[in-house]
Amino acid sequence: MLNYLWAGMILIGILWGAFHGTLDQATTGALNGAAEAVSLGITMLGIMTFWNGILQIGQTSGLVDWLAGKMEPVLDFLFPHLEKGHPARKHIAVNMIANMLGLGSAATPAGLRAMKALKKPGEDKASREMCTFLIINISSLQLIPVTIVAYRSQFGSSDPAAVTGPALAATIISTAAGVIFCKLMDRK
């Protein structure tokens, strides 16, 4: 469905440019946008490689396991029906820690492993724990919005980290709303 939506928007843009005599400007804009996308992609690749490396060092050194252990009270509160030794708990903790540090791309593999570990054999619908994890993951409490700071830096912001406070406030609110929703749904 999205393919048709994007194709339709591109076609409308080309027809609009041709009809108004600005097709050359649209072509120039598309090429400049593609060049900026490649440049931004390379910048983000470097940043994500760095933070994925830091996360790997943390896992190898035992820091991630230690932090995951410190997350136990939070996991007990968010996932009361998930037993203590469940393999998904560590993946959930790693995902939440990476998201708190603003490392969405580094959090993704742990999130996928958590969902795989939470899936019950033979079940085709999401469990309560899977839904809770997804909502918490989407709300994504971020202490340091690394990706947004990197984007702002790439595009020449005079103070790329100025969004840290507002991002923290917004993600606290979204995560609190997600937790409240999950707890209300858990009672039903």
Q: At what angle do helices 23-61 and 2-20 cross, to 10 degrees?
A: 150
Query: What gap in Å lies between CA 64 and CA 56, rounded to an integer?
Result: 9
Query: Is the C-alpha dihedral spanning 127, 131, 134, 140 positive or negative?
Result: negative
Query: What gap in Å lies between CA 67 and CA 86, rounded to an integer?
Result: 17
pLDDT of the chain along its 188 residues, tens only?
Answer: 889 999 999 889 888 888 888 888 888 888 898 888 898 788 778 877 887 788 788 889 988 888 888 889 999 999 998 888 888 998 899 889 888 877 777 788 889 999 999 998 888 888 889 999 999 988 888 888 877 887 788 788 899 989 999 989 999 999 999 999 999 988 87
97, 64 Cβ separation under 8 angstroms: yes
Tell me the pTM. Answer: 0.71
Residue 69 C-alpha from the chain's centroid: 22
How far separated are the first and last CA of the chain, in Å rounded? 34
* All residues at 6 or more sequence positions from 94 whose CB lies less than 8 Å from its CB, including other chains: 55, 59, 64, 68, 107, 110
